[in-house]
Amino acid sequence: MLIRTRRRWELPERMATPEALFRDRRRLLKGLALGPILLAGAGAMPAEAAMEDPSAKLYPVTRNDSYTLDRPLTEEKFATSWNNFYEFNDSKDVVDDAQALPIRPWSVKIDGMVAQPMEIAIDDLLAKMPLEERLYRHRCVEAWSMAVPWSGFPLKALVAMAQPSAGAKYLRMETFMNPDAAPGQQQSWYPWPYVEGLTLAEATHDLAFIATGVYGKPLPAQNGSPLRLTVPWKYGFKSIKSIVRFSFTDQQPMNFWQALQASEYGFWANVNPEVPHPRWSQAHERVLGTDQVVATQLFNGYADEVAGLYKDLQNERLYA
């Protein structure tokens, strides 16, 4: 029996987690055999990726210094071992399970309202896109946060390549569907595959970024290899992992969490400390890997950059 002292930031996490209902159901099904789900190797480095990543030689990439942080970077071992990736399991400990994700071959479809639908292999896409490193904050809706050096490219570069038609208003993104590799996808009460969406104004905003690496290396599977969105002014669930499809549309996409629980999760999901989640406050956040709790900022500290996107949308549910 593993006995271990919880770090302080883990305790409220397990009580506050929005998905607790679902996890509890799963634990009941398992006869509580797991006991408390702990980060078995919290201090240890995660296992090496099971599959060699052919993009490794691209990293590290040059840091773009325009993106600064107000706090220290989260230690790599925490950001790469405390993860949400429901395709694999609904604990925060997905490192081992996620190594089953085959990251090559991997191709990305670009379709919908575009000049020319296409499918592009990830390594060809990486060769075309302007790679850089950016330091971003990340604020999970469950009230924990981290600060991470992502490598990747601005989403607007992919949008420019796709040439959306004039009527396109939204970008819909989809995660892989592979229930053999990702057992969470065998759980039929979830609306798989994971979907997220942005308006085109958001998708072409300078801060919207596609991460393909982190800490100067290719993304580990558990962080959403080989490519995932990072939209740091929004709650973390918007930052969809392991994307296989970008579709341009004139319909607002229905995202995964909204489909599951629209009363708690919406389309916009902008960070706002003054708008509580129906089940907990969003005023503060636990800083991953530390004992600190700090005040959450409007738009996660990116209000100067992004508030303008929402000035004509005040009747929308912008903060859930």
Output 140 or 320, the one with its CB closest to ligand MTE: 140
Pairing of strands 144-154, 132-139: antiparallel
Q: Are 58 and 124 in contact (CB under 8 A)?
A: no
Output 50 or 127, the one with its CB closest to ligand MTE: 50
**Could you please report the per-residue DSSP string of 189-244?**
TS-SSPEEEEEHHHHTSTT-EEEEEETTEEPPGGGTTT-EEE-TTBBGGGS--SEE
Which two tokens mark 89? 């399991």
Q: Check the annotation: does 240 bind a ligand.
A: yes
From residue 91, alpha-carbon distances to 5, 29, 152 in Å are 17, 15, 27
CA-CA distance, 69 to 63, in Å (whole number)?
13
Q: Does 140 bind ligand MTE (CB under 6 A)?
A: yes
Task: Give the range of 62-70, 133-141, 193-201, 207-215 binding Mo ion by CB under 5 A.
Answer: 133-141
Binder to ligand MTE among 81, 83, 99, 185 (CB under 6 A)? 83
Q: Does 175 bind ligand MTE (CB under 6 A)?
A: yes
CB-neighbour burial class of residue 291 (10 A; exposed 0-12, middle 13-18, buried 19+): exposed
Q: Does 231 bind Mo ion (CB under 5 A)?
A: no
CB-neighbour burial class of residue 22 (10 A; exposed 0-12, middle 13-18, buried 19+): middle
Binding string, residues 137-166; x marks residues near Mo ion by CB under 5 A: ---x--------------------------
Q: Check the annotation: does 87 bind a ligand.
A: yes
**Could you please report the per-residue DSSP string of 97-128?**
HHTTS--SS-EEEEEESBSS-EEEEHHHHHHH
Q: Look at residues 161, 289, 288, 154 and name the one whose alpha carbon lies nearest to residue 212.
A: 154
Output 17 or 204, the one with its CB closest to ligand MTE: 17
Shortest reach from residue 14's CB to Mo ion, in Å: 14
Binder to ligand MTE among 89, 223, 225, 258 (CB under 6 A)? 223
Shortest reach from residue 138's CB to Mo ion, in Å: 9
Q: Does 85 bind ligand MTE (CB under 6 A)?
A: yes
Q: Check the annotation: does 57 bind a ligand.
A: no
Binder to Mo ion among 18, 154, 213, 236 (CB under 5 A)? 236
CA-CA distance, 122 to 244, in Å (whole number)?
10
DSSP code, position 173: E
Q: Check the annotation: does 175 bind a ligand.
A: yes
The closest residue (CB) to ligand MTE is 236
Q: Does 224 bind Mo ion (CB under 5 A)?
A: no
Pairing of strands 243-249, 118-121: unpaired
Q: Does 266 bind ligand MTE (CB under 6 A)?
A: no
Output 84 or 247, the one with its CB closest to Mo ion: 84
CA-CA distance, 164 to 152, in Å (whole number)?
21
Which two tokens mark 12? 């409220």
Shortest reach from residue 141's CB to Mo ion, in Å: 5
Residue 225 interacting entry, from Mo ion, ligand MTE, none, C-beta within 5 to 8 Å by type: none
Binding string, residues 235-254; x marks residues near ligand MTE by CB under 6 A: -xx-xxxx------------
CA-CA distance, 53 to 307, in Å (whole number)?
38
CA-CA distance, 164 to 159, in Å (whole number)?
7
Q: Does 99 bind ligand MTE (CB under 6 A)?
A: no
Output 242 or 270, the one with its CB closest to ligand MTE: 242
Positions touching Mo ion (CB under 5 A) are: 84, 140, 236-237
In the annotated binding site for Mo-molybdopterin, the residues are 83, 86-87, 140, 175, 223, 228, 239-241
Positions touching ligand MTE (CB under 6 A) are: 83-87, 140, 175, 194, 223-224, 236-237, 239-242
